[in-house]
Amino acid sequence: MTSGSREERYGGTVRRTVLPNGLRVVTEALPAVRSVSFGVWVGIGSRDETPRLAGASHFLEHLLFKGTRRRSAWDISAEIEAVGGDTNAFTAKEYTCYYARVLDRDLPLAVDVVCDMLTSSQVTSSDLEVERQVILEEIAMHDDEPGDVVHDLFTTGLYGDHPLGRPVIGTTESITAMKRDQVAGFYRRRYTPPQLVVSAAGNLDHDEVVRLVSAAFAGGPDAEPSAPRRGPAVRPERPALAVRAKETEQAHLVLGVPALDRHDERRFALGVLDQALGGGMSSRLFQEIREQRGLAYSVYSYDTQYADAGLFAVYAGCTPARAHDVLELMRIELDRVAAAGLTDEEVSRGKGMLRGATVLGLEDTGSRMSRIGKAELVYGDILSIDDVLARIDAVTPDDIRALSAELFRGPLSLGVVGPFAESDFEGFDLRGGSTGPAWAARRVTSSPEGRA
């Protein structure tokens, strides 16, 4: 361990070291494998951008692969691929991650390449122009996928002008207008050691990882790690209706509510609720909408958690003529759960599904690296797998009943992509807590083309 570093064990095979400059290194040793996944997590995402810089984090993610003082873009990819590894990155609303997966003997190379990208990228004007066109193509590709667009539309409707409501990728207007100095300045100001967490999992030695990372991030003033992001609760008070008119063969529907932030201890109960309500083929929504009625091919629920906000939503894709029937069934099931919770059998099955998803999702070094890196960044703590399973097992039907009543009796928000006008859904009651039909004002009857 390097001089001035602080180390602590999280228990088991996970170790943590804080370097003098505030950068954190967390590792999980898995001696039975022959690979290592190495990642650098940056506590900066799209919610940290101003409206003028919407999409800057994702833009920067692209640019960091374009070359450093020591490597060209070709060198970055070729050096990793020459040893059979792969490297990539992703941007989210509250963080960005750059990672590589290699054979255990090639860990020093992976550390050198990824950290070189993080510390020494050039962000040139010519590279920016090339990637600007790539990202505009990415936006166009995204806009051609209504099943993706509807989730962004729902989130924008839910959060409005708040940064959480903006798409991670930015907009055609913001990307077109963005200048090199803006992106480079964002890079210099935001990508600092206190904002970084290095995580690695696989056949590794923690002290070696610390030495390699310390050399890659040498220099800089002493600092403390940035605290996990927190803030006042972001909870929309009004229901939102957002409709994107598009001539599609399917209607894409997302109906949901504000939910729990990631620091809420009830998140484990929410995970069980999610699994039982819409997490698999035995879930209530799948059985009701697809198996019994054949109204949709894809139907599921999901929850998303941020530092100060969260959402729970139900998605379905169906023919436009069936959209109103499917929406009413989605609403009926949410009302039923709000009134009575889940049965004991559903809670038990939901817990089993969540336990399985938690453990089976950690069968490779990449998922292990992601688990400890994200946990360190957003929680400042890493629960052991046994602790997570114990918290899932502790969820009771009463916990589910109380949480469901709190979430689903409030205002709902609705996002729709398909051959509709907004007026087609104005009769759908989004106020929450209703005991009658969802179509409170009027029932819209759709033609085969999906028009009222």
Q: What angle do CA 128, 134, 138 make, to 5 degrees?
A: 135
> Burial level of 196, CB count in 10 A (0-12/13-18/19+)?
buried
Residue 219 sits at φ, ψ, to 5 deg, of 90, 175
The whole-angstrom separation of Cα 251 and Cα 296 is: 10
The whole-angstrom separation of Cα 404 and Cα 260 is: 12
Q: Which residues are within 8 A (CB) of 34 and not within 5 positions of it... i.e. 6 or more apart?
A: 103, 104, 203
DSSP-H helix ranges across 361-429: 365-378, 385-393, 397-408
CB 272 within 8 Å of CB 351 = yes
Which whole-number Å values give the CA distances from 223 to 21, 241, 259, 263, 315, in the listed order?
5, 46, 35, 25, 44
Name which of 49, 56, 48 is nearest 181 in CA terms: 56
Per annotation, catalytic residue among 61, 79, 94, 376: 61
Name which of 400, 379, 401, 436 is nearest 94 in CA terms: 379
Name which of 394, 397, 416 is nearest 337 in CA terms: 397
CB 370 within 8 Å of CB 97 = yes
DSSP-H helix ranges across 178-322: 180-190, 206-216, 267-278, 284-285
CB 347 within 8 Å of CB 396 = yes
Pull the structure tokens for residue 58: 């994702």
352: number of Cβ within 10 Å: 14
> Burial level of 78, CB count in 10 A (0-12/13-18/19+)?
exposed
Query: Is 61 assigned a catalytic role?
Result: yes
Q: How many helices (H) and strands (E) in the chain?
A: 15, 12
The whole-angstrom separation of Cα 394 and Cα 396 is: 6
The whole-angstrom separation of Cα 166 and Cα 156 is: 6
The whole-angstrom separation of Cα 262 and Cα 269 is: 12
Residues classed as catalytic = 61
